Chain A
């Protein structure tokens, strides 16, 4: 017998513990990596003792400010540039953009069973980036990657970009670079329309709240339980299954993902307001600064045009029905 759902939860919990145990190690590795990034040019030029470079100094790495990252400036990225660099040249030489995407998140990145094609808000953005780099009718390889493969896939260069409802935060910025935010998400509560649950507050008391193992929702629930009983599942969509089967009373997940769930079940809706700030960005290998700038340039164009922008068109097409009230794309922040 192989482990299944019950064990998946257990396994996921084990994974979490492992992650917690490894966090200091990972942090140490990151610090070392950052130090090495600073040290390499220094040692090469026979300079005296290494010292941190001033802010805004352009280095080989896309994001030298990762060490100074705060939740307030995490979404800040490199200024846009249409110029080709080594990473963009590599993609052009290959003639194909390889992107890590989701194929399970309705409205964002999912495979339409009727056509077999991937579609959604993320997928439209990928097409826009590919068209900019490779011209009209570009060749794109979509790699369906699981959530926890997003960073390894970039680090091992099995993909050029990851466009997969990925939240920009400081922990991740130590490992990968991000574009400017292309969507402003946040954790939110999803519950049946007639539920007594009103938001992420004490109305959750005594309720079974479902969230994906290892997700932001899970850590927020660990901090503020509000008297809820937490049910963890391998994937956020499994929460909707539990909700429909009466094994959970509410779901805590990104509002974008919650909206994707609501789009599949007209009896549930988002409750209250987002209680965290989760800007989504396009993730890029930290060494590919030129690609970050290029993506940011595409995003500038994508947002451009106010309510008539391509961004708004994609929003209206994929998200507006279940995530109403957004009038424009998030404002970009730049670090240099």
Chain B
């Protein structure tokens, strides 16, 4: 800094500055004289200076500032000061934008893992618990006086789980949103549902067919009111998960643009210095450029890795979890309808005279494994999709086993239906709620395999999402430190040029 350059003398500052100031003033006045009277900015400022009567009124701090800037820009040191300030500002702005946008994405990625995905899983559990309660209630009803303690406990656990998760979900939602509405609805309907089930149970124990009518009514409440509300909650939570994913994956355009702008400005400043001094390197500016480039590269690389991690977590985790949850619910509903076919005993039929609940069972099975009754699941069925989405053998095995068990279930169901259609209700009942070789056993196995697959996918999801989130670690702090260093470099670099004029 203290070593003034002697080899090539700097061009006369006064001459050049005067010339450029004159030309710029000329351009300004030309613009103001030929432009519209309502010219603003520099033109307006110029105009106001030539018209003091008006200027007194229109003179603003902004115009003052512009005038001062214009005055400063008339000399090279002044211009250098402006350039230094702008460069420092651009580098700092880049750092700030990076820190802000990356922090924002990190927060969204954290929300994916810590908030919206667990809430989505909870909503799926609420849905599943309710469907399971309904299915279990029907099974217990069919067993009548022989209802086992295990069935009774399973029903009660389902209701308790649903109530607990509803309370949890409720504390995670603000009062006005769609989720809160669904939660409120579920909270008011759940006691009513359990009341209907108890009445059904009581009547059934007394040997009154009215019990069956109550159970069907409870099932209709579940099917038409509770489950749609639970599905609504699940959809809302899934949408929120999608939003968090999108927020976490969105490219930080502002930071990237600021980075490109800062680098562009630094390059221009160095080029300008080179043109005027023939010196290739200005160490301060070079440091600022390097720091900015590092931040920009880090940003691009870190965000790309994070995005890819989140994409993986979505592709192999969240999507699998979604389809597996839906498969589990389909299985539950098919099972519930299978039970209800024997409860309703033909009391409810569809428009084309088929048993309402048998039709429901078939719909559930079709959604679950496709229209066929044997072999692999159809590609577009839930289990088929789950198999495609599973990306390792640990994930595929339970799904394959679930498909096999679904086929076994369908074969047993056909036997049960045949027995019932023959009028052999007892054999049909044994085939559905009996122990070994009953459809109930197949259903339990399908459910446990799907639960196993869900646990695996949950793990996969968490791992991929954590990997993705890790890629952004340190970037916020790094961006801030490097931006401060870069800005300092720019200021020092320009200051060195400035010192040559002292």
Total cross-chain contacts (CB, 8 A): 115
Query: B349, A148: Cβ atoms under 8 Å?
Result: yes
Give the nearest-CB partner of A106 in chain B: B209
Which of the candidate stretches A1-9, A86-94, A327-335 sits at the interface with the other chain? A1-9
B498 within 8 A of A: no
B393 within 8 A of A: no
Query: B144, A2: Cβ atoms under 8 Å?
Result: no
Q: How far apart sit A141 and B426, CA to CA, in the bound complex (Å)?
A: 12
Q: How far apart sit A104 and B349, CA to CA, in the bound complex (Å)?
A: 14
Query: A149, B425: Cβ atoms under 8 Å?
Result: no
Query: B227, A1: Cβ atoms under 8 Å?
Result: yes
Residues of chain A with a CB closer than 8 A to B223's CB: 1-2, 4
Query: A6, B351: Cβ atoms under 8 Å?
Result: no
Query: A114, B425: Cβ atoms under 8 Å?
Result: no
Q: How far apart sit A105 and B213, CA to CA, in the bound complex (Å)?
A: 11
Which of the candidate stretches B68-76, B214-222, B248-256, B458-466 sits at the interface with the other chain? B214-222
Q: Which of A6, A18, A144 counts the most chain B CB atoms within 10 A? A: A144
Query: A146, B351: Cβ atoms under 8 Å?
Result: no
Query: A111, B219: Cβ atoms under 8 Å?
Result: no
Q: Which of A112, A114, A234 counts the most chain B CB atoms within 10 A? A: A234
Give the nearest-CB partner of A158 in chain B: B421
Query: B351, A14: Cβ atoms under 8 Å?
Result: yes
Residues of chain B with a CB closer than 8 A to A141's CB: 422-424
A15 within 8 A of B: yes
A74-114: contact bitstring with B at CB < 8 Å (1 yes, 0 no)?
00000000000000000000000010000111100011111
A152 within 8 A of B: yes
**Chain A nearest CB, measured from B463 CB (Å):** 34
Residues of chain A with a CB closer than 8 A to B420's CB: 144
- Interface on chain B toward A: helix, strand, loop, or mixed SS? helix
Query: B351, A149: Cβ atoms under 8 Å?
Result: no
Contact status of A104 and B217, CB under 8 A, knowing A4-B224, A116-B425: no
A33 within 8 A of B: no
B3 within 8 A of A: no
Give the nearest-CB partner of B222 in chain A: A4
> Quick one: which of A8, A98, A106, A144 contacts B356, CB cutoff 8 A?
A8
> Quick one: which of B211, B346, B363 contacts A2, CB cutoff 8 A?
B363
Which of the candidate stretches A195-203, A220-228, A237-245, A304-312 sits at the interface with the other chain? A237-245
Residues of chain B with a CB closer than 8 A to A14's CB: 351
Interface residues of A in 226-282 (CB under 8 A from B): 234-235, 237-238, 240-241, 244-245, 260-261, 264-265
Q: How far apart sit A112 and B207, CA to CA, in the bound complex (Å)?
A: 6
Query: A5, B210: Cβ atoms under 8 Å?
Result: no
Query: B145, A5: Cβ atoms under 8 Å?
Result: no
**Chain B nearest CB, measured from A135 CB (Å):** 20
Contact status of A241 and B144, CB under 8 A, knowing A6-B224, A141-B422, A143-B423: no
Query: A1, B347: Cβ atoms under 8 Å?
Result: no
Q: Which of A104, A105, A240, A261 counts the most chain B CB atoms within 10 A? A: A104
Q: How far apart sit A175 and B434, CA to CA, in the bound complex (Å)?
A: 40
Q: How far apart sit A145 and B347, CA to CA, in the bound complex (Å)?
A: 8
The number of chain A residues touching the other chain, given as a range, is 35 or more
Query: A5, B217: Cβ atoms under 8 Å?
Result: yes
Query: A146, B347: Cβ atoms under 8 Å?
Result: yes
Query: B220, A114: Cβ atoms under 8 Å?
Result: no
B311 within 8 A of A: no
Q: How far apart sit A112 and B144, CA to CA, in the bound complex (Å)?
A: 10
Q: Which of B207, B347, B355, B360 counts the most chain A CB atoms within 10 A? A: B347
Residues of chain A with a CB closer than 8 A to B214's CB: 241
Query: B353, A241: Cβ atoms under 8 Å?
Result: no
Residues of chain A with a CB closer than 8 A to B381's CB: none
Query: A116, B426: Cβ atoms under 8 Å?
Result: yes
A207 within 8 A of B: no
Contact status of A104 and B212, CB under 8 A, knowing A2-B363, A141-B423: yes
Q: How far apart sit A7 and B349, CA to CA, in the bound complex (Å)?
A: 12
Interface residues of B in 227-279 (CB under 8 A from A): 227-228, 231
Q: How far apart sit A105 and B216, CA to CA, in the bound complex (Å)?
A: 15
Query: A144, B423: Cβ atoms under 8 Å?
Result: yes
B301 within 8 A of A: no
A127 within 8 A of B: no
Residues of chain B with a CB closer than 8 A to A61's CB: none
Query: A152, B353: Cβ atoms under 8 Å?
Result: yes
Residues of chain A with a CB closer than 8 A to B199's CB: 244
Residues of chain A with a CB closer than 8 A to B27's CB: none
Q: How far apart sit A143 and B421, CA to CA, in the bound complex (Å)?
A: 7
Residues of chain B with a CB closer than 8 A to A114's CB: 144-145, 207
Q: How far apart sit A106 and B207, CA to CA, in the bound complex (Å)?
A: 9
Give the nearest-CB partner of B359 in chain A: A2
Query: A15, B228: Cβ atoms under 8 Å?
Result: no
Q: How far apart sit A112 and B425, CA to CA, in the bound complex (Å)?
A: 12
B204 within 8 A of A: yes
A11 within 8 A of B: yes
Give the nearest-CB partner of A15 in chain B: B351
Query: A11, B351: Cβ atoms under 8 Å?
Result: yes
Q: How far apart sit A5 and B228, CA to CA, in the bound complex (Å)?
A: 14
Residues of chain B with a CB closer than 8 A to A238's CB: 213, 216-217
Q: How far apart sit A261 and B203, CA to CA, in the bound complex (Å)?
A: 12
Q: How far apart sit A7 and B333, CA to CA, in the bound complex (Å)?
A: 17
Residues of chain B with a CB closer than 8 A to A265's CB: 210
Q: How far apart sit A110 and B343, CA to CA, in the bound complex (Å)?
A: 12
Query: B231, A144: Cβ atoms under 8 Å?
Result: no
> Quick one: which of B211, B345, B360, B426 contacts A144, CB cutoff 8 A?
B345
Q: How far apart sit A14 and B351, CA to CA, in the bound complex (Å)?
A: 8
Query: B207, A104: Cβ atoms under 8 Å?
Result: no
12 example contacts (A-B, Cβ-Cβ < 8 A) are as follows A2-B333, A7-B224, A14-B351, A110-B209, A144-B345, A149-B349, A237-B213, A237-B347, A241-B210, A241-B213, A241-B217, A264-B210
The 6 A-B pairs at the shortest CB distance, nearest first, are namely A5-B220, A146-B346, A4-B224, A4-B220, A4-B223, A143-B423
Interface residues of A (CB under 8 A from B): 1-8, 11, 14-15, 18, 98, 103-106, 110-114, 116, 141-146, 148-149, 152, 234-235, 237-238, 240-241, 244-245, 260-261, 264-265
Q: Given contacts A114-B145, A241-B217, could you give 12 more A-B pairs where the C-beta distance is less than 8 Å?
A: A1-B227, A4-B219, A4-B220, A8-B348, A11-B350, A11-B351, A106-B209, A113-B204, A146-B349, A148-B353, A237-B209, A237-B212
